[in-house]
């Protein structure tokens, strides 16, 4: 009954619970930068009057003082497919709902389709989803919510199970193609994270700006021994040289020097694989041969039993869609404690670092003496380098594997089934297909560009 009361309380006004302060007090210059940057994503005519749907103000309650720019290209023809898996996600669903509604209002409700697959939850997740379904339909936002009591059996293989669950969220993608000849231009796959509106917009913008096969954020968890957040998803994330990223604080995540330097400057980074809470996918490999899908490793053929997310990145490389990048600016958390640490308010920033404001624009990495490394408000100003398209390169040939030269990826295998605590096979360098080392692997095949004016 307590959770049911919270359902009513939280959903009455569709208010985000943890992320409501994302951009409430954003500095005016950041608002102007965001309005100009994301104008090309607008898939609707701007509303005639101010409201919470006044999307590019990124407004969760505060007033702003600039006019929305007009659309700069045919955004109304670009369609977005949101795929979401949920399990016992009661606490984060209000934030997820609020962000989805606001982002969809920017992209245009007719351009968005939301597919949610939930299974096995023992809290009130299913009740919240029924409310969300009704709210979506009330504003014309297409949604399909599938719920199930299925859980992973005691002897099921973890990766096989997770691959099936992820593929279940993709069922409408293929149904709409087969039944109505409807195709989507961009897929947004979301885990149970706490995103802000501009987090999603930035990932979509970078994905389309770079015609990327896969675009991901950077996610963080709290490390009890260190007493601070550390990079989380290093079972999947690999640098472009195939090395694993570290479960480490912000300053020492990458091993490859150029990648680490770009990471510390918040600049997009080419990687071999990543997922990290949100992944923006080019849907072309799902529609056309080789028709990729989430899967477990072909263990009997000697393939390293990596995560289903790692394997889909490998399959994108093999399909010729190896333009994979990470956007360090977008820092995601799975709970409020980490969210507050990685996005402190500006008034606390001086106290944390122990010095007084000396001048310059607030949180401008070029002029603000307080902008050191990573802790900083959500509205950190954009730099020119963050808008530059990446120069993607094929996988490197710097690692010897089985007496041959080629792209190799550090892999921890998970061969066994049942309730294992983690990977159960010694890590190895696994040779990737030869195509990964050719220019053909990073060729632009599906143009999803933004028009810049």
- Condensed to tens digits (0 to 9), the pLDDT of residues 25-35 reads 788 888 999 99
Compute the distance between CA of residue 357 and CA of residue 350 in angstroms, rounded to an integer.
Answer: 7
In a domain, 363, yes or no: no
In a domain, 355, yes or no: no
Please give the pLDDT value at position 5. Answer: 64
Please give the pLDDT value at position 137. Answer: 84
Please give the pLDDT value at position 347. Answer: 54
Please give the pLDDT value at position 254. Answer: 93
In a domain, 453, yes or no: no
Provide the whole-model pTM.
Answer: 0.86
Helix (H, G, I), strand (E, B) or coil at 228: strand
Helix (H, G, I), strand (E, B) or coil at 186: strand
Q: Do residues 275 and 236 make contact, with C-beta atoms less than 8 angstroms apart?
A: yes
Q: Could you list the residue range(s) of the whole structural domain that residue 222 is in? A: 2-343+378-442
What digits encode the pLDDT tens for the residues 171-198? 999 999 999 999 999 999 998 898 999 9
pLDDT for residue 374 is more than 70:
no
pLDDT for residue 283 is more than 70:
yes
pLDDT for residue 289 is more than 70:
yes
Q: Which of 185, 320, 209 is nearest to 267 (CA)?
A: 209
How confident is residue 436, by pLDDT bands cut at 50, 70 and 90?
A: confident
Q: Is 309 exposed, middle or buried (0-12, 13-18, 19+ CB in 10 A)?
A: buried
In sequence order, the 6+-apart residues with CB closer than 8 A to the CB of 272 are 238, 239, 240, 241, 242, 313, 317, 324, 395, 407, 409
pLDDT for residue 148 is more than 60:
yes
Mean pLDDT of 317-340: 92
The β-bridge relationship of strands 404-406 and 399-401 is: antiparallel
How confident is residue 395, by pLDDT bands cut at 50, 70 and 90?
A: confident
In a domain, 265, yes or no: yes
In a domain, 373, yes or no: no
Please give the pLDDT value at position 13. Answer: 54
Please give the pLDDT value at position 449. Answer: 85
pLDDT for residue 10 is more than 70:
no
Mean pLDDT of 290-317: 93
Q: What are the strands, taking DSSP E only, across 133-195? A: 142-148, 186-190
In a domain, 449, yes or no: no
How confident is residue 50, by pLDDT bands cut at 50, 70 and 90?
A: very low
pLDDT for residue 124 is more than 70:
yes
Q: Do residues 171 and 83 make contact, with C-beta atoms less than 8 angstroms apart?
A: no
Q: Which of 114-128, 162-176, 295-309, 338-352 has the lowest mean pLDDT?
A: 338-352
Q: Do residues 23 and 379 make contact, with C-beta atoms less than 8 angstroms apart?
A: yes
Q: Which H or E run contains 100? A: helix 93-107
The CATH number covering residue 279 comes to 3.90.550.10
Query: How confident is the prediction for the chain on average, in pLDDT?
Result: 82
Please give the pLDDT value at position 144. Answer: 95
Mean pLDDT of 264-291: 93
Name which residue leads in pLDDT, 302 or 18: 302
C-alpha atoms less than 13 angstroms from C-alpha of 211 in its C-beta half-sphere: 13
Please give the pLDDT value at position 365. Answer: 61
> Taking the C-alpha atoms of 266, 270, 275 and 279 in order, what is their torsion angle to the nearest 10 degrees?
80
pLDDT for residue 36 is more than 90:
yes
In a domain, 368, yes or no: no
What digits encode the pLDDT tens for the residues 69-94? 444 445 558 999 999 999 988 888 88
Number of domains comprising the chain = 1
In a domain, 348, yes or no: no
């Amino acid at each position: 009954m307590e959770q049911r009361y919270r359902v009513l309380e939280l959903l009455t006004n569709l208010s985000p619970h943890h992320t409501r302060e994302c951009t409430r007090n954003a500095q005016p210059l950041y608002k102007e930068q965001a309005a100009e940057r994301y104008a090309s994503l607008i898939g609707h005519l701007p509303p005639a009057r101010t409201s919470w749907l006044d999307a590019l103000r990124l407004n969760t309650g505060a007033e702003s003082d600039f006019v929305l720019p007009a659309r700069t290209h045919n955004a109304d023809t670009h369609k977005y497919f949101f795929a979401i898996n949920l399990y016992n996600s009661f606490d984060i669903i209000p934030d997820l709902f609020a962000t989805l509604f606001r982002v969809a209002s920017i992209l245009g409700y007719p351009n968005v389709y939301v597919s949610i697959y939930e299974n096995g939850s023992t809290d009130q997740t299913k009740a919240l989803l029924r409310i969300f379904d009704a709210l979506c339909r009330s504003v014309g936002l297409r949604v399909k919510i599938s719920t199930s009591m299925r859980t992973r059996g005691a002897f099921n293989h973890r990766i096989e199970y997770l691959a099936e669950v992820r593929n279940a969220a993709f069922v409408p993608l293929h149904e709409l193609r087969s039944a109505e000849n409807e195709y989507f231009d961009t897929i947004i796959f979301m885990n149970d994270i706490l995103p802000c509106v501009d987090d999603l917009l930035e990932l979509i913008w970078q994905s389309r700006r770079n015609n990327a096969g896969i675009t991901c954020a950077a996610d963080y968890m709290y490390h009890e021994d260190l007493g601070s957040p550390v990079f989380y998803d290093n079972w999947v994330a690999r640098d472009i040289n195939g090395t694993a990223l570290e479960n480490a604080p912000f300053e020492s995540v990458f091993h490859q020097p150029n990648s680490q330097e770009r990471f510390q400057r918040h600049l997009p980074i080419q990687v071999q694989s990543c997922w990290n809470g949100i992944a923006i996918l080019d849907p072309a490999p799902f529609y056309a041969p080789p028709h990729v899908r989430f899967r477990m490793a072909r263990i009997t053929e000697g393939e390293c039993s990596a995560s289903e997310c790692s394997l889909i990145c490998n399959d994108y490389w093999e399909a010729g869609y190896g333009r994979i990048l990470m956007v360090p600016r977008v820092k995601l958390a799975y709970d409020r404690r980490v969210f507050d640490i990685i996005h402190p308010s500006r008034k606390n920033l001086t106290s944390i670092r122990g010095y007084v404001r000396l001048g310059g624009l607030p949180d401008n990495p070029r002029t603000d003496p307080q902008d050191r490394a990573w802790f900083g408000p959500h509205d950190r100003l954009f730099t020119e380098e963050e808008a530059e398209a990446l120069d993607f390169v094929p996988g490197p040939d710097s690692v010897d594997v089985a007496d041959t030269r080629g792209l190799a990826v550090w892999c921890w295998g998970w061969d066994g089934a049942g309730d294992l605590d983690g990977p159960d096979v010694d890590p190895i360098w696994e040779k990737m297909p030869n195509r990964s080392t050719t220019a053909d692997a990073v060729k632009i095949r599906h143009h999803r560009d933004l028009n810049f004016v």
